[in-house]
Structure 1
Amino acid sequence: MLLSRTRTSIVDIARAAGVSKSTVSLVLQKSPLVSETTREKVNAHIKELGYIYNRGAANLRQSKSKIVGIVVNDLTNSFFAELAVGMDMVVQSAGYVQFLAHSGESVDRQREVIASMRENGIAGLILSPARGTEASDIKALVGGDIPVVVVVRNLPGAKVSTLLSDNYAGAKAAVRHLISLGHSRVAFMGGFQDTAVFGERLRGYRDALQDAGIAAEEKYTIHSAPSRAGGVVALERLMTIPERPTAALCLNDAVAFGVCDGLRAHGLEPGKSFAIIGFDDVIEAKTAVPALTTVSVDPQGMGQRAAQLLLKQINSGQRDQEAITTSVRLVVRQSCGAPVKQLEEIE
Structure 2
Amino acid sequence: MDKSPPKNSSVTVADVARKAGVSKATAARVLGDYGTVSDRVREVVTAAARALGYRTNELARSMTTGRSGSIGVVVGDIENPFFSLAVRGITDVARQAGFTVILSNSGEDIDAEKAAIRTLLSKRVDGLIVSPAKDDDVEHLHEAVRSGLPLVLLDRGSDTLAVDTVIADDRHAAESITRQLVSLGHRRIAYVTACDTPDHTFRTLQDISTASVRRRIEGYLRVCEESGLSDMGKWVRVGAVTPDQTRRIVTDMLQSPQRPTAIIASDSMIALEAFKVHRQLGLTIPDDVSLVSFHDADWTSVTSPPVTVVRQPVYDLGATAAELLVKRLNGATETARKVVLKTEIVERASVRAAL
- Computed over aligned residues only, the root mean square deviation of the Cα atoms, in angstroms, reads 2.2
Change (3 A) 1:326 1:66: same
* Rg (Cα) greater in structure: 2
- Larger mean Cα displacement after TM superposition, 68-77 or 177-186: 177-186
Secondary structure of 1:208's counterpart equals helix
Q: Please state how far the C-alpha of 1:211 moved relative to its aligned partner.
A: 2.2
Summarize the alignment of residues 162-311 of structure 1 with structure 2, pairs less than 5 Å apart. Answer: 162-192=165-195, 193-226=208-241, 228-311=243-326
Assess if the C-alpha contact under 8 Å between 1:62 and 1:122 holds in 2.
no
- 1:230, 1:129 → 2: CA distance? 23
SS in 2 for 1:335: coil
Amino acid at match of 1:324: V
The list of structure 1 runs, each at least 4 consecutive aligned residues, that deviate by more than 6 angstroms after superposition, is none
Give the SS at the match of 1:336: coil
Give the match for residue 160 of structure 2. Answer: 157
Deviation at 1:81, TM superposition (A): 0.7
Q: Which amino acid in the other structure matches residue 354 of structure 2?
A: V
Alignment of 1:42-191 (within 5 A): 60=63, 63-131=66-134, 134-141=137-144, 143-191=146-194
- Deviation string, structure 1 residues 182-236 (Cα, Å, up to 9, x no partner): 2122111123133222321111111112222222433322112355444323202
C-alpha distance 61-287 of structure 1, shift in aligned 2 (>3 A): farther
Q: What's the secondary structure of 2:221's corresponding residue?
A: helix
Q: Work out the CA distance in 1 between the residues paired with 2:142 and 2:66.
A: 18
What residue identity is the alignment partner of 1:340? A
- Scaled by the length of structure 2, the TM-score of the pair is 0.74
Contact 1:68 1:123 in 2 (8 A): yes
Measured after TM superposition, the shift of residue 125 of structure 1 is 0.5
What code does the residue aligned with 2:311 have?
S
In the other structure, the counterpart of 1:320 is: 335
Query: Paired residues, what number?
Result: 284
How many angstroms apart in 1 are the aligned matches of 2:244 and 2:314? 21
Identity of aligned residues (%): 26
Offset at 1:71?
0.6
Counterpart check, 1:330 vs 2:345 = yes
Query: Residue type matched to 1:209 in 2?
Result: C
- Deviation readout 1:283-337 (Å, 9 max, x if unpaired): 3322333222111112111111111111111112537311122111111111223
The aligned residue for residue 28 of structure 1 is none
CA contact (8 A) 1:282 1:299 kept: no
Rounded Cα–Cα distance in structure 1 between residues aligned with 2:315 and 2:326: 17
Q: Match of 2:326, SS?
A: helix
Cα shift readout 1:8-45 (whole Å, capped 9, x = no counterpart): xxxxxxxxxxxxxxxxxxxxxxxxxxxxxxxxxxxxxx
Unpaired stretches in structure 1, ≥5 consecutive residues: 1-56, 342-347
CA distance in 2, matches of 1:138, 1:62: 25
Aligned twin of 1:340: 354
- TM-score, normalized by length of structure 1? 0.75
